[in-house]
Structure 1
Amino acid sequence: LIEASIIIRRDMDITPPLIPVDFGNLRSSWYITITTGTTAGNSPGFKGGDASKMGSQHTSVVSGAASKAKSFPHPVVVMGFSAIYAEAIETKKKKHAWKRPSSGPHFFESALNRNKPLILKVIANSTKI
């Protein structure tokens, strides 16, 4: 499951639509956590006037995701972006001139959809019955 989340995260940085960037805080807010409580994305380097607020928010979001993941009786991965505006950017309808070329809305959904066959293959290859 971790490998699948790595595939998705990498794809959002190489295949359009890419993760939009102004200060890089959205990209920095990425996290993954699994049933065992292992997490990645614990120490993002937020920038700007909201950096400390975003850091606190990130800790809270990741902690909540870890608790949710641990509550499942079977392996599960929870992944996403902790930035409070992540969902608004993902679902944005209006055009916006991002600083990063080829970036824009539906970057997360597109990466999931594009990589679904590969993710299923990775999961199938690592599953033991």
Structure 2
Amino acid sequence: MAVVEGLGRVIRNLDKELRRIENVTMKGLIRGSIIIRRSMDDNAPSIPVDLGNLRASWFTVTSEGQAAGLGSRAGIARFRGPNKADMVSDHHGEVGKYATEIKGRRDPLLIMGFTAYYATYVHEMVGANFKQPKTGAMKAATGAKFFEAALKREEKAVFNVIKSEARIK
């Protein structure tokens, strides 16, 4: 089993800050996840791309039963290549598993991540020579620790957007 190093500390720090905000709303959590997702595309290190399947496997699931994936249309992630059918099946299975696990919880909860079976492995490949965007592309250089870097980089922005959407009792 692959282990993500350093991510736990980042999540604990964000969680500690969020606990200080009363009445967190789902809208704030969703807006925060959008900030993180966009950061993984717009800033280095960005999500490594070969066929685009890792990027397509992004998902969010909320305790209100909403499930979404950037790079998907009508809930169907756009996978390519010889493993397409397996990746689509895995994607729907994983998203469904998380949706069932958290649906109906009293407090707002959002889970986000990647369903590609190799996501953790690629995330932890520090020093790997990843395929880079074509010259002139507007995409940031790809690399390991893309998710962790986005969480660290956007921690304050996510905290502020969640705080701005918090309900007042």
The equivalent position to 2:92 in structure 1, one of 37, 59, 67, is 59
In structure 2, how many angstroms separate the alpha carbons of the residues matched to 1:8 and 1:2?
10
In structure 2, how many angstroms separate the alpha carbons of the residues matched to 1:13 and 1:60?
25
Residue of structure 1 equivalent to 2:20: none
Q: Which runs of 5+ in 1 are unaligned?
A: none
In structure 2, how many angstroms separate the alpha carbons of the residues matched to 1:125 and 1:52?
41
Q: How does 1:43-54 map to 2 (within 5 A)?
A: 43-54=76-87
Q: How does 1:1-129 map to 2 (within 5 A)?
A: 1-41=29-69, 42-70=75-103, 72-100=105-133, 102-128=141-167, 129=169
Tell me the amino acid that sits aligned with residue 37 of structure 2.
Answer: R
TM-score normalised by the chain length of structure 1: 0.94
1:68-88 deviations in Å (ceiling 9; x for gaps): 222633101000011000011
1:1-56 deviations in Å (ceiling 9; x for gaps): 11000111111000000000000000100110111010112311100000000000
Contact 2:65 2:104 in 1 (8 A): no
Structure 2 counterpart SS, 1:78: strand
Q: Which runs of 5+ in 2 are unaligned?
A: 1-28, 70-74, 134-139
* Number of equivalent positions: 129
Percent identity over the alignment is 37
User: Which has the larger Rg?
Assistant: 2
TM-score normalised by the chain length of structure 2: 0.73
Cα shift at 1:64: 1.1
